Amino acid sequence: MRTTIFSTPLITPLLRFLAILILRLIGWTSIGSKVSVPKYVLIGAPHTSNWDFPLMILVVLELRLQLFWMGKHTLFSFPFSGIMKWLGGIPINRTKSQNAVNDIVGQFKSNENFVVLVPPEGTRLKVKEWKTGFYHIANNAGVPILMGYVNAEKKEAGFANFFYPTGDLETDMKEIRSFYAQKKGLTAENS
C-alpha cells in the first residue's frame, strides 16, 4: 500500500501533534480507542459539509488510524491529484459504472491490513436513502463495518462499534441507520 498522511515517517507524528492541538483549540473531542481489527470498512456520517474532510483528517490522525477514503474523482484533478492521494484518497467516478465495489473488495483480499472510509450518503446534501456500496464492500470482503460519526451538537467525532453484516441488506441498513438517528452533522439541516 502507498504511503499516506497517516503513515509517513517523521511527518505523521508531527501532524498528529498539530491535529491534537487544533482539535483542542476549536473545542472538538475525538472519540475512540485503538482498533486491533486489521481490515474493516469505516463509514463516516452524517456527511453534511465540506468541513467534514479536514475534521476527518484531524480526528483520524489523533486516533492513530491508517486508512484510505473514497471520494469523487473530481477532487483528484490536476494539480491536486498527488496531494489528495497522499491524504489517502481513492478516486471514484460516479458517472461511470466502474466496479468500484469489486475493486475495493480486491484490495481487502490482497492486503493484510486495509481500512477504507466511505461516506454512505455519497454527497453532502440531505438524502433519504444511503448508497449501499459500503455495505456490499464489507459483506463481499467478509469484513466488519466500523461506525464512524460526527456529532456537531456535542462537538465530537470518532467511532463507536463494529457492525458485522449478515447479508440481509434491508434489516442491516435499518440497524446501522438507527445508530445515526441522533447524530447531527456540521450543517444540521442536511443531517
Q: What is the pLDDT of residue 122?
A: 64
Residue 138 lies in a domain: yes
Residue 143 lies in a domain: yes
Is 32 among the domain residues?
Answer: yes
Q: Is beta strand 156-163 parallel, antiparallel or unpaired with respect to 114-118?
A: unpaired
2 located within any domain = no
- In-domain check, residue 153: yes
Number of domain units in the chain: 1
Q: Check residue 191 and give its pLDDT.
A: 65
Q: Give pLDDT, residue 93.
A: 84
Residues whose CB falls within 8 Å of the CB of residue 63, separated by 6 or more in sequence, listed in order = 30, 32, 158, 159
Classify residue 122 as left (phi > 0), alpha (psi -120 to 50) or beta.
Answer: left
| Domain extent at residue 39 | 11-186
CA–CA distance, 147 with 104 (Å, rounded to integer): 18
Say which DSSP state 4 is in: -
Query: Over the chain (191 residues), what is each successive 10-residue block's mean pLDDT?
Result: 94 98 98 95 92 95 96 91 96 77 95 95 72 95 97 96 97 96 85 65
What phi and psi, each to the nearest 5 degrees, are found at residue 29?
Answer: -115, 135
Q: How far apart are CA 7 and CA 38, in angstroms?
A: 15
Domain membership of residue 5 (yes or no) is no
Calculate helix-pair angle for 169-180, 133-141, nearest 10 degrees. Answer: 120
CATH classification of the domain holding 36: 3.40.35
Find the helix or strand (DSSP H, E) in which 29 lies.
Answer: strand 29-31
